[in-house]
Amino acid sequence: MRRILRILSVSLITAGIVILLDAGITLAWQEPISAFYGSIRQNQAESQLQDIKKDFLSEPAVVDLPPAKSIDARAEELADIFEKTLRNGKPFGRIRIPSIDADYVVIQGTDEGDLQKGPGHYPTTALPGQGKTIGIAGHRTTYGAPFNQIDKIEVGDEITLEMPYATFTYKVTKTDIVDPSDVGIVDNVGRERLVLTACHPLYSAAERYTVFADLDEITLFSGGSGKFPPP
């Protein structure tokens, strides 16, 4: 029995050393290299996003829209039009989280190649303005680590999503740590909300750190803004 315990103890110590070495290698080698690569891809995405915005606002389907009944109705119309132009791996919009000094171009898609460019929009979730759940995932380590400080976001913090058609401001309502298999976190709940996810803890994919934020304001690039829910 003592021999078994000694073997188990040695195994656990060895496993711990391996984990520490892996983390050390990631910090010393993979982090700076992947961060440099991620920075290049972000710069490319930034340029592409500017072109996408300019082209979208000049689309006949956008220019010829009749007057809308409300700000949110127009936002939904524009979101529906923009959704048809989205392609995986291409820019989706921009996310800003002032409380953690995060400012990144969001990419459409959450495959590994997409997340190497920046935070990724879950393709199965809605777009801002569609009145449903918008899901965005991001790395906490490597490739610029856009969501490295996600666990520092607090209730009441503002998060903005700047889309080619409007800017959407959300206010954080809660944070949570969930199992990776809990796909229900991005279910639609009858109102527009933003859900951010990232692996947790650092250097582990054992859990997901999750931030929930409800829509607070819409500002259209064509003019007009509104607070939500309306008074």
Mean pLDDT of the region 186-213? 95
How high is the pLDDT of residue 34? Answer: 79
Q: How much of the chain, in percent, has pLDDT values that exceed 70?
A: 83
Residue ranges per domain, the chain? 2-227
Check whether 140 has a pLDDT greater than 60.
yes
Kindly indicate the confidence band of residue 37, based on its pLDDT and cuts at 50, 70 and 90: confident
* pLDDT(184) > 90: yes
- pLDDT of 76 above 50: yes
Burial per residue of 28-40, b for 16 or more beta-carbon CB atoms within 10 angstroms, e otherwise: eeebeebeeebee
Residue 93 predicted with pLDDT over 50? yes
What's the rounded Cα separation, in Å, for the pair 209 and 196? 8
pLDDT at 165: 96
The predicted structure's pLDDT at residue 223: 65
Average pLDDT along the chain: 86
Q: Is the dihedral of CA 143, 149, 151, 153 positive or negative?
A: negative
Contact criterion met (CB below 8 Å) for 38 and 116: yes
70 or 26: which leads in pLDDT:
70
Overall average pLDDT of the 144-163 stretch = 97
Statement: residue 2 has pLDDT above 60 = no
Q: Is the pLDDT of residue 204 over 90?
A: no
Cα angle: 47, vertex 65, 48; to 5 degrees: 5
Local confidence band at 4 (pLDDT 50, 70, 90 cut-offs): very low
The runs of H, that is alpha helices, within 58-167 are 60-63, 71-83, 112-115
pLDDT in the model for residue 228: 61
For residue 7, what pLDDT band results from cuts at 50, 70 and 90?
Answer: very low
Q: Is the pLDDT of residue 191 over 90?
A: yes
CA-based nearest residue to 208, from 185, 174, 229: 185
Least confident piece of the model among 2-6, 31-35, 220-224: 2-6
How, if at all, do strands 120-121 and 102-108 pair? parallel
Q: What is the pLDDT of residue 12?
A: 31
Task: Look at 25-39, 85-99, 114-128, 168-182 and tell me which has the smallest mean pLDDT.
Answer: 25-39
What was the pLDDT predicted at 10? 36
For position 16, what pLDDT does the model report? 32
Report the CATH fold assignment for 2-227: Sortase; Chain: A; (2.40.260)
Closest Cα to residue 109, out of 147, 136, 131, 132?
A: 136
